[in-house]
């Protein structure tokens, strides 16, 4: 249905349905093979369905270790991105200085570059600085692109926030922290929350940059990749993939609902 109330042409509807099927049917197959009784190969249709692989995955300590590392890295990377991305967005959107657009370009550059370039650059930098690979090297690698996600959400909201609100707050005697807490933060809070959720989802399932910065550690996506190369119990990998889909889908869905009405900002247009 089009925005003017009329139905879209049949050909356009079929093309859209075909595109969605192409994108999402492989994901549905992952869900299906998480329940298959066959543990060595993929057959369609599956020879049978079972829940035993969920119990097997639950009892695998290597799965829990990889999951815990992924959650830790994603949480800390998101926290760093929220602080740096918000500060950078405030500086770029609320101030005018020489090189402002250059700074904005440099902030968003990491997400525009191929992940392998970022990974090689970070690995080289850590090696030159003689920084041992650890959880913190993974976090720093993930923070490079998580900052971009938060920055993009925050800068768009800052630019719609009227400067008169901040000026009025200052005129009424509020200091910088009080103005941020009571005026700025309520207006940009949903954008920051959405940016944080997207950053968390991106960090949780990142593979390429992690490969170059993890050393001997395994996040959950790295564990899945290695299990596919030398499979022992393929349905277990599919069960873990289902968990990853759910963990990343829910924050993205929440971010969508938080930002879809983001054009309504206090003081906009004044």
pLDDT averaged over 10-residue windows placed end to end, the chain, 270 residues: 61 80 78 71 68 80 88 92 86 73 78 83 87 88 88 80 66 66 71 84 86 84 79 75 78 68 46
pLDDT at 176: 63
Indicate whether 128 and 36 sit together in one domain: no
Can you read off the two tokens belonging to residue 247? 């963990």
Indicate whether 74 and 40 sit together in one domain: no
Indicate whether 211 and 133 sit together in one domain: yes
pLDDT at 59: 81
Indicate whether 37 and 72 sit together in one domain: no
pLDDT at 79: 92
pLDDT at 80: 92
Evaluate whether residue 265 is within a structural domain.
no
Can you read off the two tokens belonging to residue 161? 């926030």
Indicate whether 30 and 127 sit together in one domain: no
pLDDT at 75: 92
Indicate whether 65 and 38 sit together in one domain: no
Evaluate whether residue 130 is within a structural domain.
yes
pLDDT at 267: 44
Indicate whether 41 and 79 sit together in one domain: no
The CATH number linked to 141 is 1.10.3720.10
Q: Which domain holds residue 44?
A: 10-50
Which CB contacts under 8 angstroms, 24+ apart, belong to 177-184?
A: 184/90
The model scores a pTM over 0.85:
no
- What contacts 156, CB < 8 A, 6 or more positions away? 191, 262
Indicate whether 75 and 123 sit together in one domain: yes
Evaluate whether residue 270 is within a structural domain.
no
Indicate whether 34 and 167 sit together in one domain: no
Evaluate whether residue 43 is within a structural domain.
yes
Number of domains making up the chain: 2
Give the whole-angstrom CA distance, residue 76 versus residue 154. Answer: 19
Evaluate whether residue 56 is within a structural domain.
no
Indicate whether 244 and 214 sit together in one domain: yes
């Amino acid at each position: 249905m089009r925005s003017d109330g009329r139905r879209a042409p049949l050909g356009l509807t079929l093309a859209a349905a075909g595109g969605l099927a192409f994108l999402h049917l492989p994901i549905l197959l992952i869900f299906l093979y998480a329940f298959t009784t066959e543990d060595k190969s993929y057959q369609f249709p599956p020879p049978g369905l079972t829940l035993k692989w969920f119990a097997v995955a639950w009892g695998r300590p290597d799965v829990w270790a990889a999951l815990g590392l992924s959650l830790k890295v994603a949480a800390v990377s998101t926290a760093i991105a929220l602080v740096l991305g918000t500060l950078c967005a405030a500086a770029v959107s609320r101030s005018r200085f020489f090189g402002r657009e250059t700074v904005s370009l440099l902030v968003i550059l990491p997400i525009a570059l191929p992940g392998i370039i970022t990974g090689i650059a970070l690995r080289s930098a850590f090696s030159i600085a003689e920084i041992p690979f650890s959880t913190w090297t993974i976090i720093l690698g993930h923070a490079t692109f998580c900052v971009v996600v938060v920055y993009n959400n925050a800068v768009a909201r800052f630019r719609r926030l009227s400067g008169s609100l901040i000026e009025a707050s200052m005129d009424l005697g509020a200091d910088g922290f009080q103005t941020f807490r009571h005026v700025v933060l309520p207006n940009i809070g949903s954008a920051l929350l959405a940016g944080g959720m997207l950053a968390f989802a991106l960090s949780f399932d990142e593979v390429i940059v992690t490969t170059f910065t993890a050393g001997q550690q395994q996040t959950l996506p790295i564990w899945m990749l290695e299990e596919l190369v030398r499979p022992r119990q393929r349905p277990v990998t599919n069960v873990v993939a289902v968990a990853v889909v759910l963990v990343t889908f829910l924050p993205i869905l929440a971010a969508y609902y938080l930002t879809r009405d983001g054009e309504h900002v206090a003081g906009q247009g004044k």
